[in-house]
Structure formats: structure tokens, C-alpha cells
Chain A
Amino acid sequence: MSATSVRSWLSCRLKVFGDSHFGCVYSRPFLTSTNLQNVQENTDRRYVKYDDNIVETETEKFRVFEIPGLKRVQRERRTQQKKREYEAQPRFKQMLPDQDWTKVWPGPATFKWSVVPFPVRQGFIPKPTIAGGVPPGKYANTELIKIPNFLHLTPGHVQQHCQAIKKFCTPWPAGLESDQKCHKHFPLEVVTQDYCFSGSSIRDARARSATVQFKLSDLDLDYHARDKFIRLVGPRYNKNTDEVTLTADRCPLKKQNYDFIIYLLTALYHESWTVELWEKEKTLDDMEKYFWDLNASRKNILELLKHIHTIEKDLKLSPNVKALPYLPENLSEENLLALKEVKSYKEAVTDLFNEDETKENLKKYKEAVRTLLNIQTKMMSPS
């Protein structure tokens, strides 16, 4: 083997040592598979040349002495000779089994048949008579060039990346161990987007928008201010998560939009705390939820209790047979409202209006009415 260096610009632009008789090594006799025999000569060449399954045993054969001039030698054309001059030994042929793959494939790159040492095939063959009955191998395979590969992300690569960036890492800040602590110190969540485009313009109009999220409970608001805040932000408030989301894209720049949101938040907060004159004109229909103290239920219950009390007084019943033994002598509003029976009734009615008519709420209401009116009948068992 003459160690003449072949000019190689192939793959990694390394200077490789190739056999000057390269191309003669791979020849017809290796095609022993039956389904390969009918394939045309040109197709054969392609599969034989860099096929991974074919082992080079030509060099191990017994060399026969050939008398020069005895046999007719087919000479190569000059163009073919010249072409062969450029033909280089692929790199995967010279690789050691224990080589460092990260040195061979340092970063993301298109699949190179001459560098990847393992056998791989891609393609569809409609019939077993086509292309030798096997999908195309890696040599001259355009499909493998198209698809993305992860040859630059082997465990060895990842380890080296981690080692390289380790010196830039700082310890996790103390006091921010849990999500709750992070939320406590950084209640505002700002979301912005950046867009990357491989074209003549790096501008993207979508990049200007900014979003700020926060929990309403993090703001210092009383009942009125909170209610006003929710009314002001409208659909931007999520009742289930107690989160407010403010988005702005009216300004041309991201920073301007963010500044606008912060301004908006400040204005909303201070506006919520102010009580305007017209807010005192709020009627029962304007209420955001059911208030027992403002509604007819309160009046009715108080009147009913007072009415029962007067009837009992008129009949002069003894305390043992009184319908409502818990009623005090002094029936002032404060005394009646302080009764635990009335309190539980108030709670049950409020829940029924403000929440939903669920089974639990209805049961609670039933119990409250029974205790309030002292109804002690037992449920009849279905016989």
C-alpha cells in the first residue's frame, strides 16, 4: 500500500491517506445474495461501494502472480483516472472503535455519510426487485441529509457541555427554596416574547407585546377596593385562580408596553381605593352578591320571631310548652341577631344565593330552618 497522500476536501477537510487502488477493492464477487443478482450494474456499484455489511476480505486473499502482458489489461480512461485522483477514503474507515466521538462531531451538523461510522438506511422500496431489495444505505442518501439528527447530543457531548458551563453557575439564592417563597418575593410575573427569523428582517411586530400577571390577593385592598378593582379589570380577572392578567401591545416597543402596564396597574390600584359620590347610590340590584342584612329575608325573619313571641305571650304558655324556647325576653334586633339559630339561618341563605344550590347547601338550609322553627319531627321511614 503506497502511502501517497490524496488531496481530500471531503468532510472534515482532513488530510487522509488513501489507497491508490481504491475502487478496485470493492468488486462484483461480494454480491452473493440472490436478490442482488438481477440488479443492473450501475445499481450494484452504489450498494457495493460503501455498503456497511460487506467486509473487505480482498486483501486477505492469496495473491496470484500475474505475468505482465499475458492477459489483456483494460486500461482506464484518462478522465476516469483523473476522477479517481479526487476520490478520498471516507473518514469512518479510519476511525478507531474507542475514539472520542465529541471530537469527530463537535456541534450540530448535517448528516455526513463519510463520517458516521454506524450502518444506517433510509428510504422506501416498493418492490424487492428495486435497489437490491434493501432500503438505500447512508452513501449518497439525500433523505438522511434532509432530516435533523442528534449526533451532537450524545451523553458525552452533554457531559462536556455541562462541564464547560459549570464555571458560570452560581448557587441558588437563599430564601427562594420553595414556590411560595418565590411568589412572596416576586409577585409580578412578566411575560414577553422574542422571535428569531432567518431572513432579511429581524423585526417582528409580535415581539412588542408584554403581559403582566399577579394575584389579586397580593394587593393591599379592602372589600370595596377589591370589588371595584375586579369591576374595573373586567374579564382580565380570573375568579378561579384569583389572577389578574394585563396585556398591552399598543406601543411600538416592548419596553413601552411594559411601562404602560405598570402605569395601568398603579392607576387601577389608586382608582380602586377612591370612593366616588355616585357609589353611594348603589341599590340592591347593583350588588355584586347577596347580602342577607340588606335583603327582605332579614326583615321577615325578625318579624316572624316577634310575631311568634307575641302569640305565645297572649296565650300565656309555660316555658316547657313554648314553640321557640330559645327566644329571650327582650326582643331587640341586636339580641335576635346574636342568636346562634338566626346566625346559622343567615349563613345558610347567603350560601344558597352566593354559591350554588348544591346538595350540601340545601341540606344546611333545611337544618337551619328546622332549628330556627324548632321542628322536631322525625323522618318517616318508608315502610
Chain B
Amino acid sequence: MAAYCRSCIVNMQKAFQPVKFQSLLLHNIRRNFGTSTICRGLNGVPNKNLRAGKQKISINKDKPLTYEQTQPPNLIGVTKSWNSWNSGSLEGEREKNAAQIVFDDIFIRKFMYGTWHNLFASEVIIKRQYNQIIIAGLIEQSNHNNIYFLIGYTEELLSFLLKCPVKVEIQTVADKKDLIFRYI
């Protein structure tokens, strides 16, 4: 029994090593960068050869897309705006906070997709103001008691994890299909 417990503890320690935790998240970073400005003109590659974040046309042209999905990454800041709003790209802030902000945002997105499973109709929008983080987005209407719980749970847990006030500003749409902008 004692040996079992010890091995269990060792396993837990391994699982919660900070390096391990980081590599686990970094593994999925590429997926989260899907619509970031990083794609823009990287290494002088012409725009027509960039495929990240661009949707393929289906055979029957019946693939539903939201407005966010129709705009390719090179149009961020032109026809659609960023999903993360912060001052991390400003001079002086860049060296200090940018990496931390990106890392935290990825964590928040993963947390939201897991906790609000299958509820989000839009992307998770993260806005940072002063010392607080505002998480906004559109979700499908469902049982309101669950949503009340989720809002409180998310705010409480993320505030504790990120050590700053976190506000969840969620709105509802009747149907996820209401976000469909066009079919390609």
C-alpha cells in the first residue's frame, strides 16, 4: 500500500512539473495561432501561398462560415479585428509582458473551450484593461442555471489562477446558425 502511494505521488509530481505543463501547452500553441498576425508576410512569403487560417471551398459550396472564418488572417485589422486586445505589442511592453500575455491567453482559451463545452458560437475574445481580464463571446441559449454557475465558476477559478480580476461578459444567440455569414 505504501509503495503504491509513493509511486502515485511520484506520478503526480511528474505530471505537475512546470516544464511538463508548459510543453503540454506549447504543443498546442500552433493550433491556437491559427488566426494571428504571425501569418502575415512571414519570411517574405507571398500572401497567395499562405494557407493558415484560410478556408477551403467545398464541392457543393454549402460549407457554412462565420464572419470571423471568412476573413483570412492577413485581413486582421482591416475587415476584422483581433480576438485578443491588450497592450503587449507596444514599445516597452513587448519585451516584458508579450510572452506572458500570449501564454495566459492560450490557457484562457483552452479553459473556456473545455469548461463551456460546445456552448460557444463565436471565438473567445479576451480583452485586458488595467489589471482586469474581460472574457467575452457569444454562446447558444440553454439552461440559464447552468450558465449562471459557469460564469461564477469561470470568474472565480480564473481570477485565482491568473491572480487578477477576471470578468466574463457572455451574450446569447438563439442558434449557432445565426452566426453564419456565407456558404463556400
Contact = CB atoms under 8 A, between A and B. Distances in A.
Interface of A: 7-11, 23, 40, 42-43, 45-46, 49, 83, 86-88, 108-110, 112-114, 123-124, 130-131, 136, 139-143, 145-148, 196-202, 204, 206
- Kindly name the residue among B121, B169, B177, B181 whose own CB sees the greatest number of chain A CB atoms within 10 A: B181
Contact of B141 (A87, A141, A200): A87
B173 A139 contact: yes
B121 to A, nearest CB: 7
Closest 5 A-B residue pairs measured CB to CB?
A: A9-B144, A124-B79, A198-B128, A110-B169, A86-B141
B49 interface: no
14 contacts: A23-B174, A46-B178, A49-B178, A110-B134, A114-B171, A131-B181, A139-B178, A142-B67, A142-B122, A143-B67, A143-B80, A145-B137, A198-B86, A198-B162
B63 to A, nearest CB: 12
A105 B142 CA distance: 25
Contacts, number: 126
Given A46-B180, A49-B178, A83-B141, A147 B81 contact: yes
Nearest to B164: A198
A147 B81 CA distance: 8
Contacts of A124: 71, 78-80
B183 A40 contact: yes
- Kindly name the residue among A109, A146, A201 whose own CB sees the greatest number of chain B CB atoms within 10 A: A146
- Kindly name the residue among A113, A114, A140 whose own CB sees the greatest number of chain B CB atoms within 10 A: A140
Interface stretch (B12-20, B52-60, B93-101): B93-101
Interface of B: 64, 66-68, 71, 78-83, 85-86, 92, 96-97, 100-101, 104, 121-123, 125, 127-134, 136-138, 141-144, 147-148, 162-164, 169, 171-175, 177-183
B174 A87 contact: yes
Contacts of B163: 199-201
A199 B165 CA distance: 9
Interface of chain B, main secondary structure: mixed
B182 A130 contact: yes
Contacts of A49: 174, 178
A136 B182 contact: no
Contacts of B144: 7-9, 86
Contacts of B100: 199-200
B67 A123 contact: yes
Given A109-B169, A123-B67, A131-B181, A198 B138 contact: no
Given A123-B67, A197-B97, A140 B136 contact: no
A40 B133 CA distance: 38
B24 to A, nearest CB: 18
A108 B127 CA distance: 13
Contact of A142 (B68, B142, B164, B182): B68
Given A86-B141, A196-B131, 18 more contacts: A10-B141, A45-B177, A46-B179, A86-B144, A88-B141, A108-B129, A110-B169, A113-B171, A114-B172, A139-B173, A142-B66, A143-B80, A145-B125, A145-B136, A145-B137, A146-B83, A198-B132, A204-B96
